[in-house]
Amino acid sequence: MDRNAPVGVFDSGIGGLTVAREIMRQTPEERIVYFGDTARVPYGSKSQDTIVRYSRQIIRFLRTKGVKAIVIACNTASAYALEIVAKESDIPIIGVVNAGARAAVSATRNGKIGVIGTEATVRSGVYTKVMQEMRPDIEVTGKACPLFVPLVEEGLWHDSVTDEMASRYLTPLKGRYIDTLVMGCTHYPLLRSTLRRLLGDEVTLVNPAYETAIELKELLKAHGLNRNPEDPLEGEKYQFYVSDLAEKFTDFATSILPDEVKETQKINIEEY
């Protein structure tokens, strides 16, 4: 495998850009091919069979771009598809769940951890399973927050409607005396300031996007796949593809990524 090949990153839509942003920060020498499945978002309300089928299609597309590793930057797809597709692949594939779970277990002081995510992620119980494998006495409380994704995608990060919904979602978690909260959807770090204000400084917020970027950095180094920054750059450093709404994606990506996104290409993912 060519160590100068790009890393593939995919999500159900725009939320995975928070993972791409952290990868850009932690491994600025790496090239990235990002795919956002904007035509079929959200994944959180879909069945496991559907999510696995979507993930296989996207992986086949990313393989046409010669990627050396793939990051599933979607908690729902990580929960339902990662184990299956990783066994089918001859290149490393990682998700956002394991890294986030490890960070939460390390951070908690009283053993009470909250997880917020899509309905599918919370229903899967994947964070509970992974964290309790690491530390059996951990008490995990999951809370689905289905309206957070559309609120983020509409750009309502600092809006009274978002504040109201966040207050409703977080109240049950505060009643369980959690001291650590996993932002178990890649959209949610964009609501970090709202969550911090409502929960207070005594609750540690865990961002799986950051933890996953660190895991990727270590993985590439361990496999001898980390790109040499002194090698000449072939082609665009960052490439972006979506299944719909390319212009809207470009505007959003430019607003949160370090560099301006000049172009997003729309593809028919059903062909893969």
Written as tens digits, the pLDDT of the chain (272 aa) is 789 999 999 999 898 999 999 999 999 999 999 999 999 988 888 999 999 999 999 999 999 999 999 999 998 999 899 999 999 999 999 999 999 999 999 999 999 999 999 898 899 999 999 999 999 999 999 999 999 988 988 888 899 999 999 999 999 999 999 999 999 998 899 999 999 999 999 999 999 999 999 999 999 999 999 998 888 887 789 999 999 999 999 999 998 998 889 899 999 999 99
Compute the distance between CA of residue 22 and CA of residue 120 in angstroms, rounded to an integer.
Answer: 24
Catalytic residue, chosen from 149, 185, 190, 216, is 185
Q: What is the pLDDT of residue 194?
A: 96
Q: Is 12 annotated for ligand binding?
A: yes
Say which residues have a Cβ less than 8 Å from residue 87's Cβ, sequence separation at least 6.
none
Q: Check whether 259 is labelled as a binding-site residue.
A: no
- Bridge partners (DSSP) of residue 266 are 242
Contacts of 252 (CB under 8 A, 6+ apart): 14, 17, 153, 155
Q: Is 187 annotated as a binding residue?
A: yes
- Among candidate residues 74, 99, 104, 178, the one labeled active-site is 74
The confidence score (pLDDT) of residue 259 equals 84
**pLDDT recorded at residue 103:** 96
Q: What CATH class is the domain 7-95+210-271? A: alpha beta
Residue 72: strand, helix, or coil: strand
pLDDT value of residue 49: 96
- CA distance linking residue 181 with residue 204, whole number of Å: 6
CB 19 within 8 A of CB 96: yes
**Residue 232: predicted pLDDT:** 86
**74 is a catalytic site residue:** yes
Contacts of 142 (CB under 8 A, 6+ apart): 114, 115, 116, 117, 122, 125, 127, 128, 184
**CA gap 35, 211 in Å, rounded:** 20
| 76 known member of a binding site | yes
Residue 128: alpha-carbon gap to chain centroid: 18
At 245, list the tokens: 């709404």
Q: In angstroms, rounded to a whole number, what is the distance separating the alpha carbons of residues 253 and 248?
A: 9
Tokens of 165: 């919904």
pLDDT of residue 62: 98
Peptide bond into 172 cis (omega under 30): no
The pLDDT assigned to 71 comes to 98
Per CATH, the number for 98-208 is: 3.40.50.1860
Torsion-angle region of residue 215: left (phi > 0), alpha (psi -120 to 50) or beta? alpha
How far is 223 from 220, CA to CA, in rounded Å?
Answer: 5
145 belongs to the catalytic site: no
Domains 7-95+210-271 and 98-208 share a fold: yes
Question: Residue 242 contacts by C-beta under 8 Å, 6 or more apart in sequence?
Answer: 35, 36, 37, 38, 39, 249, 264, 265, 266, 267
Residue 158 annotated as binding site: no
pTM of the model: 0.90
Question: Residue 268 annotated as binding?
Answer: no
Domain boundaries, the chain: 7-95+210-271, 98-208
